[in-house]
Amino acid sequence: MRRAEREIKDIRKIEQIINQCKVCRIGMVDNGRCYIVPVNFGYEMGGNRLVLYLHSAMKGRKIDILQNNPQVCFEMDFGKLEAGETACAYTYRYASVIGNGKAEMIHEKTQKEKALRLLMKQQTGKDFDFQNIPLDGVAVLQITADTFTCKSNLE
């Protein structure tokens, strides 16, 4: 990381940043070409372990790519423009998490329910019950991060 003074290593602070993010961009490789898609997500974190959960249609380009190559990169961020007196005095205050991992489809119903509960909690702040909802028509993906870093210039 070029700006090491902006790196966040405290896992509690990283989780606070992730909690403020609503969209995660997933990068994949499709026949040698990059493909990036923004997705809503949920997550769980334990120690230095980060797992992202997302939902999708059962078919489509994203699913096709991940079946051929489950390696992904991801990025999430939030921020705001800070005005300055001159053009060069403007800056963008942000925090971001970037990482790499492996995506896999979740098939087991209770795991799907858990993932969707986490996703809805991240997006709405509310708890939902998926026990009596048929989930056969939704794909649920789990991305287990191999590595991730966090950077911030909010202060």
- 89-113 confidence digits (pLDDT tens): 998 899 999 999 999 999 999 999 9
pTM given for the model: 0.91
Cα–Cα distance, 60 to 130 (Å, whole number): 24
Q: Which domains does the chain have, with CATH numbers?
A: 4-152 (2.30.110.10)
Helices (H), the chain: 11-20, 61-68, 109-124
Residues in Cβ contact with 30 at an 8 Å cutoff, skipping those fewer than 6 apart:
61, 65
Q: CA dihedral defined by 148, 18, 61, 105, rounded to 10 degrees?
A: 80
Q: What is the pLDDT of residues 23-51, one digit of tens each?
A: 999 999 999 999 999 999 999 998 889 99
